Structure 1
Amino acid sequence: MKEKIRIGCGAGFSGDRLEPALILTEKGNLDYLVLECLAERTIALAQKRKQQDPSQGYDVLLERRMEGLLPLLIQHKTRLITNMGAANPIAGGKKIIEIAQKKGIKIKVAVVLGDDVFSQLSGEELTMEGNLPLKSYGKLVSANAYLGADAILPALDTDAQIIITGRVADPSLFLAPMIKEFGWDINDANLLGQGTVIGHLLECAGQITGGYFADPVTKPIPNMDRLGHPFVDVFKDGKAKISKVSGTGGMVSVQTAKEQLLYEVLDPENYFTPDVVADFSKVKIKEIAKDEIEVLGGKGKPRPQTLKVSVGYQAGWMGEGEISYAGAHALERAKLAGDIIRKRISHLYHEFRVDYIGMSSLHGELLSQNSNPYEIRLRIAGKTQEKFLAQLVGEEVEALYTNGPAGGGGARKNVTELLGVVSILKDRSSIASQVELLES
């Protein structure tokens, strides 16, 4: 068993930058690189792509990321763990093998399966959001359970250099190599709680190095144009030291870590994951050097008996239209335009919005009533079950060009097919994961 491992986070969401992972792999002296690229919205979009083409459904940036990373992973003997398989991890694994073959690289890919539980749905399951039966949401299109570190461990027991998964809980991607390398007991809730704290701190990549933290007035962060992503040295007892590659931009500090620790956490004493109910309330973060912090004190309770499942359903269509007004009385003209369209078509939609971007689109008119903007971007949006009605929104906005009010310009229109996402809980005993090994 090892006494210490180093894990880097090269991506914190699907659309993250490509170069931080390359820098971490080349200069970070990593044992493991994690690319965390999946969320409820991301997997719903992946399911749409898979429906249109069964060979798709993995992350849209998988090929571009692998083109640059594969040679570096081999050169630096770094294992990659990623959930970029999204809705189709087998296809994602095969694509990695295809890229490796083109480059003349010998590599093995372990594909973690079992999160897709769509075939197990009855429609009678009650949603966590509204306690309504799934069948009341109309046509269901996907169901993906949040697997835990235990699903990744068999993949790590192979000699595969790349492990690709579908829906796995974000901290579990980091926790699995800790359990593997240190021989941690998967029933040791305190060790797993500490490991989950570490994974949670790293999972959003640039957020802990100052990205989402930054405010140029109150919380300035240096050199954000070349923001570095984090790595962590984890020790066998669970102690962790988080830093970033020397020379990269950003900052690792107690303040950036505390903000990330509380990110998406409703109850710090009971943070539910498939591996453990983690307790963040006793975590201690200490700065030990410039851009280096120590993290201790994570605890936990035994893992839950149920797993969260994200269920996608067809949610109709959204039509959007935008147009700009500038100069004297810009706001008044934009409001007149919004009123015109509201009177003409709002009754046709089950949800309808009129936003004045630049004044009230984020926080409403009450907080913006004293502003007098020189320019306004009017946005109209409507949700409907009918595609032709979604198209009508943009058409009506475009018609404002000549039908007034005066001075509108830069009109755009868009129609989007919507997938909604709700959640259910499912007994973990009914969900079985498997690993399939691919080789170039």
Structure 2
Amino acid sequence: MVTGPEVTPGGTPTLRLGAGAGYAGDRVDPAVDLARRGRLDHLVFECLGERTIAAAHARRAGSADATAGIDPLWARRVRAVLAPCRAAGTRIVSNAGAADPPAAADVTRAVARELGLAGVRVAAVTGDDVLAAVRRADPVVWETGRKLSEHPETLVAANAYLGAEPIVTALAEGADVVVTGRVADPALYLGPLVHAFGWSLTGDPGLLGRGTAVGHLLECAGQLTGGYFADPVTKPVPRLAELGFPYADVAPDGSAVLGKLAGTGGLLDVATATEQLLYEVGDPSAYVTPDVVADFSSVHLEQDGPDRVRVGGASGSERPGSLKVTLGFREGWEGEGQISYAGPRALERARLAADVVVSRLDRVHGIGADDVHVEYVGAGAAFRGLAGPGEPLEVRVRVVARTPDPETAEAVGWEVESLYTNGPAGGGGARRGAREVVAVRSCLLDRRDVRPEVSVREA
């Protein structure tokens, strides 16, 4: 049995927010289950990482496809959930617009027409693309300590982290679906809370801090319900293959109860919530977002029954005057090849194979050893040579090289594949590929130089 949103002890209805995705390639079926059975007020899809938005800009620049700059799975996601969300009165919020929110809005309206859902209002949030503004401001790049203008690489993307305000605006204008570009992950959830409860975006940082804590707990979806938490020995999670995504019933004071649908796999308890609360948080007392500097240091988590956790105690202080910007630079190409060796002396044969490839990349293709990276997967590659003693039964050689052009990048995998008949005995399972490298770096930009806009159109 699925119950609807709870009511606070004072009789005030809560707002139910569901997590539909935690990253760009996330599963679709748990979101469909939430849309059908969750009795949600809002279903949120967090689909955007720093690398994914930079890559979306690179795809868009080199493609005639009008949808090249959006989340590749967006049409599939919205087609799967729009009808049940419409039937339940559930509104959808997502950053799946990536490099092109208007295109994602167009896709959403097209899906609505395809499904015969008239009257769906779709909002596109823009203004996070600040390429021109950062070029004018010439800020210091965090990772290098140098001014942006001092970098020789081609800058292809600059996206500021927007906060909840444009989402609030879109919902106030009656949007059923809101698609954004780069928005801080918790803001996707904070926006509906501010809209529903009338919170001030500048007057009460304590409420914004509590709403941000809820958003941060939900933003990675299945991580909260046992995904990435699970260990079969120390932290068993039941029915991980049927992992259910979480939701939260949030009260007007920002306190919340986390839950998941009955009958779904996974685990939601104080331990899973604690791990997610600390995920990607450098300083729990000062988690900087565009909306508030949240303080999670006094958060209290309490088990409230099976797969239910009460959350409260977060606070916050005034929002920062600057916004973080993700920068994307074109940095050439990367070629890769892999091949496996098994049985006696597998590691010795794998090393000989790598020596052959590295030598030929230098002698035939002009790729110096300094630009080549070799891993021996199965022989301690993830431990950087610190694996314990013992002869591995099988080893997979992975050779990666940075190159200036796609033709040279293709040569890396070609040389690895040619080991079939020109290398040590027993090589098999070769694979190769090449891709453009878009390096991601960061800077700050005065928030006065960032101007979000909202456009709402009906399907």
TM-score of the two chains, using structure 1 as the length reference: 0.97
Partner of 2:132: 119
Q: Deviations over 1:338-367 (max 9, x none)?
A: 1222334355265321111112221122x2
Which one of 163, 182, 195 corresponds to residue 178 of structure 2?
163
Q: What is the CA-CA distance between 1:68 and the residue it aligns to?
A: 1.5
Task: Quote the Cα distance in structure 1 between the aligned partners of 2:134 and 2:347.
Answer: 50
Q: CA 1:192/1:181 → structure 2, altered by over 3 Å: closer, same or farther?
A: same
Unpaired runs of 5+ residues, structure 1, are none
Aligned to 1:398: 417
Amino acid at match of 1:17: R
Deviant stretches of 4+, over 6 Å? none
Match of 1:130 in 2: 144
Q: Distance in 2 between matches of 1:369 and 1:296?
A: 44
1:389 corresponding residue in structure 2: 408
Q: What corresponds to 2:71 in structure 1?
A: 59
Cα distance in 1 for partners of 2:178, 2:391 equals 54
CA distance in 2, matches of 1:200, 1:53: 36
Structure 1 residues 136-175: aligned runs within 5 Å: 136-175=151-190
Residue 3 of structure 2: aligned partner: none
* C-alpha separation in 2, matches of 1:101 and 1:406: 58
- Separation in 2, partners of 1:78, 1:241: 19
Per-residue displacement from partner, 1:27-78 (whole Å, max 9, x unpaired)? Answer: 1111111011111111122112211236121110111111111111110000
Quick one: which of 19, 28, 36 aligns to 1:18? Answer: 28
Q: 1:343 to 1:349 in 2, by over 3 A?
A: closer
The answer to whether residue 53 in structure 2 is matched with residue 43 in structure 1 is: yes
CA shift in 2, pair 1:299/1:252, >3 Å = same
Identity %: 47
- Aligned residues of 1:272 and 1:304 also touching (Cα < 8 A): yes
How far off is 1:198 after superposition? 0.6
Shift of residue 204, structure 1, vs aligned partner: 0.1
Give the root-mean-square deviation of aligned CA atoms: 1.5
Correspondence 1:265-276 to 2 at 5 A:
265-276=281-292
Distance 1:421 1:434 in 2: 25
Q: Is the counterpart of residue 322 in structure 1 residue 332 in structure 2? A: no
Q: Distance in 1 between matches of 2:59 and 2:44?
A: 24
1:382-403 residue CA offsets vs partner (Å, 9 max, x unmatched): 1122333212211221222222
Structure 2 residue runs of 5 or longer lacking an equivalent are 1-10
| 3-state secondary structure, aligned to 2:382 | coil
How far apart, in 1, do the equivalents of 2:388 and 2:308 lie? Answer: 45
**SS in structure 1 at match of 2:17:** strand
Q: Matched residue of 1:289: which SS?
A: coil
Q: Does 1:9 align with 2:19?
A: yes
Corresponding residue of 2:256: 240
The count of corresponding residues between Structure 1 and Structure 2 is 439
**Residues 253 and 327 of structure 1: CA distance in aligned 2, closer, same or farther (over 3 Å):** same
Report whether the alignment pairs 1:179 with 2:194.
yes
Alignment of 1:55-134 (within 5 A): 55-56=66-67, 57-106=69-118, 107-122=120-135, 124-134=138-148
Deviates more, 1:234-243 or 1:393-402: 393-402
In 2, distance between residues paired with 1:335 and 1:369? Answer: 18
Indicate the SS of the match to 2:18: strand
Partner of 1:427: 446
8 Å CA contact 2:124, 2:179 repeated in 1: yes
What residue in structure 2 maps to residue 409 of structure 1? 428
